Amino acid sequence: MQAILPQNSGFLAWRLPLSLDAHSTAHWLNLMSSTPAPIPRHSTHAVRVGHVTVGADAPIVVQSMTNTDTADSKATAAQVAELARAGSELVRITVNSEQAAQAVPQIRTQLDRLGVDVPLIGDFHFNGHKLLSKYPDCAEALAKYRINPGNVGRGSKRDEQFATMIEIACRYDKAVRIGVNWGSLDQELVVRLMDANTASANPQDTRQVIHQAMVTSALDNAQRAEQLGLAADRIILSVKMSGVQDLIAVYRMLAERCHYALHLGLTEAGMGAKGIVASTAALAVLLQQGIGDTIRISLTPEPGGSRSAEVLVAQEILQSMGLRAFTPSVVACPGCGRTSSDYFQKLAQDIQSYLRAQMPAWQRRYPGVENMSVAVMGCVVNGPGESKHANIGISLPGTGERPVAPVYVDGEKTVTLKGDHIAAEFQQLVNEYVEKTYGGS
C-alpha cells in the first residue's frame, strides 16, 4: 500500500511506503529535517547602521525601542542594554526634548563602558531639526535618525526643517529611516490625493487612497532626501499601519516601486496574544514574499513587564519561518488525555529557559548551536518520532505508560532515563551533545 497526495492538491505528489526499512526511515528523517530552500528576497540597497547592515543580502535585523524617559540616561542605558542582551540588534530611543538630546551622548558612553555596542537610533518628531542642530554630540552619537514626514512641520516650514535634518545626516554620515505612519500622515498630501480621486473618472475607495498616500509620502520624501545629498544606501523606508491587511497592501505596493531597504512593523499592535498574533499575521505574509529587511514588534507591555518580550517575538517569527536562527528550538507536544501529568510541560519550559540563558556564552564557544533542535514529548504516540527528528530528544511516559524515558540523539536511541532525576540527567545530556557537536577540535 502507498499513501498518495492527489496531483492537483497544490503540492508535489509523493509516494511513501507505509512499511519502511531502517535505511529508508533514516533517509526520510534526513529529508524532513533538511534546511528548506531560502526565500528569495526583494532586492534592496544595503544600509550601514553603525556596525549592522540592513538590506540586500544581510540577515533580517531585529530591532526594538525603549519606553524610558531618555533624559534619564541611567535608566535608558539599562533598558537599551537589556534589549540588546535579549537580541535586539538595533535600539531606538525617543529624542523629544533638549534634556533627551543632551542625554544621548551619556547613554552611548554608558553602553560602551558596559561593552554593549548596539547602534542607537534617534526617534524625532516636530523639533528634530532644532535638537540635531543645537546638540551636535547627540547627532554624532546616534547611528540613525528616524524622521516622520507627517510630523516634520507644516506649510513652508516643512521643506526647510526636513532639509535641515537630512543635511545633518549627510554631515555625520548617518542613515535615515523615513517612517510614514498612518496616524500622522501628511494631511496636505491626503487632501490633494482625495481631491484628485474625486475628480477621477474611476475613483478608488478611501482605503485605497490612504494606501497610495502612504507610499507616495515615503517615496517623495526619499527622493527629496536624495536630492539633498543623502545616498540611496543611507535610506530606509517604513509605511506603518495598524490593520493587518492594510499593512500587507502598502508594503507590497512600496516594494514594487523601489529598492530602498524596508523596515517592517505593525504599529499599535496591542497587548499580549492580540499584539503577537496580529504582528505575526502581517509580517509573516510579507517576509514569505521576500519583503522586509528589519523588523520591530510593537507590543504594549504588561504593567511592569519586560520590554524585551517584543524582541523574543521578533526572533521567534524569523526562526519559525526558517529565515534566521537565534537559539536552539524546543519542540514540545501540547498535551492531551494521555498526559495528565504536567511533568513534560515543566521540563520543556525549563529546557527552553536554560537554552536561552546559555546562548550569550554558547554563541562564542559553540558556533552553529543556534540551529540545534531539542524535543520534549509527553507520551508514546508522537514522542519517539518527534524525538528522532530533533538533534536530541526525550519521550516522557504518559498516563499509564511505563515510567521510562528514552532519549534519541540524531535519530538514534541512546539511553533510557528513569527515576527521580530525569530532568537533570537530560539537561546534562544536552550539554554533552552541545560540547561534542559544536565544540570543535
Cα–Cα nearest to 347, from 396, 384, 313, 385: 396
Q: What is the pLDDT of residue 34?
A: 56
pLDDT, tens digit (0-9, with 9 covering 90-100), for 114-148: 999 999 999 999 999 999 999 999 999 999 999 99
pLDDT at 203 over 80: yes
Report the 3 state secondary structure along the chain.
CEEECCCCCCCCCCEEECCCCHHHHHHHHHHHHCCCCCCCCCCCCCEEECCEEECCCCCCEEEEECCCCCCCHHHHHHHHHHHHHHCCCEEEEECCCHHHHHHHHHHHHHHHHCCCCCCEEEEECCCHHHHHHHCHHHHHHCCEEEECHHHCCCCHHHHHHHHHHHHHHHHCCCEEEEEEEHHHCCHHHHHHHHHHHHHCCCCCCHHHHHHHHHHHHHHHHHHHHHHCCCCHHHEEEEEECCCHHHHHHHHHHHHHHCCCEEEECCCCCEEHHHHHHHHHHHHHHHHHCCCCCEECCCEECCCCCCCCHHHHHHHHHHHHCCCCCCCCEEEECCCCCCCCCCHHHHHHHHHHHHHHHHHHHHHHHCCCHHHCEEEEECCCCCHHHHHHHCCEEEECCCCCCCCEEEEEECCEEEEEEECCCHHHHHHHHHHHHHHHHHCCC
pLDDT value at residue 441:
53
Residue 391 has pLDDT above 90, yes or no: yes
Q: Whole-model pTM?
A: 0.90
Q: Is the dihedral of CA 151, 104, 90, 329 positive or negative?
A: negative
Phi-psi category of 383—alpha, beta or left, where left has phi over 0 and alpha has psi -120 to 50? alpha
Average pLDDT, the chain: 91
Instruction: State the distance between the two ends of the chain, measured CA to CA, in whole angstroms.
Output: 47
pLDDT in tens, 32-56: 555 667 899 999 999 999 999 999 9
- Per-residue confidence (pLDDT) for residue 268, from 0 to 100: 85
The model's confidence at residue 338, banded by pLDDT at 50, 70 and 90, is confident
Among residues 243, 273, 267, which one has the least CA distance to residue 123? 267
| Whether residue 310 has pLDDT greater than 60 | yes
